[in-house]
Amino acid sequence: MQICIPITEDKGLASPVSAHFGSAPAFMIVDSEISSCRAIPNKNHQHEHGMCTPLASIAGEKIDSMVVGGIGMGALNKLAAAGIKVYRSTSRTVEETIAALKAGTLELVTTDTACNHHGQGPHGHGHGHGHGATR
């Protein structure tokens, strides 16, 4: 399974997980079958709220699942349309996140549980939505 996790910096499996999907500086792509990982820069991490283009940075990647601390409705809908399951995790590292996913303890993010930040400024900049790992 190919899993994509937003990260704040590339430290392999010890990479810290970003608290929010769209504003993460990079994504870690993990192949859970062979336990390999590689980072991809998020070329769109600085954007206006609602203008997130989640598939642009991971274009061409075969992704089965995305694990996030938080994600907005627009990005969630785009990932769902691409057939990518999105899970929420509060784990601090990629390694902990993968372990939780394998253990089946992660919540599937739905339109009812995605972040809604209308009128709260750009996401990912300390607006207190209370999800996920620290930056």
Q: What does the pLDDT profile of the chain (135 residues) look like in tens digits?
A: 999 999 999 999 999 999 888 888 999 999 988 889 999 998 875 545 555 565 677 888 899 999 998 888 888 888 899 899 999 999 999 999 999 999 999 999 987 777 654 333 333 333 333 444 333
pLDDT at 43: 80
Residue 132 backbone class (left: φ over 0; alpha: ψ -120 to 50; beta: rest): left
pLDDT at 131: 41
Q: Which CATH architecture has domain 2-90?
A: 2-Layer Sandwich (3.30)
State how beta strands 26-31 and 2-7 pair.
antiparallel
pLDDT at 38: 95
pLDDT at 48: 53
pLDDT at 135: 33
Nearest-angstrom CA–CA distance, 95 and 48: 30
Residue 87 backbone class (left: φ over 0; alpha: ψ -120 to 50; beta: rest): beta
Nearest-angstrom CA–CA distance, 134 and 108: 20
pLDDT at 40: 93
pLDDT at 37: 94
Integer CA distances (angstroms), 75 to 20, 42, 66, 80, 113, in order: 11, 14, 11, 9, 13
- Tokens 């809604």, residue? 116
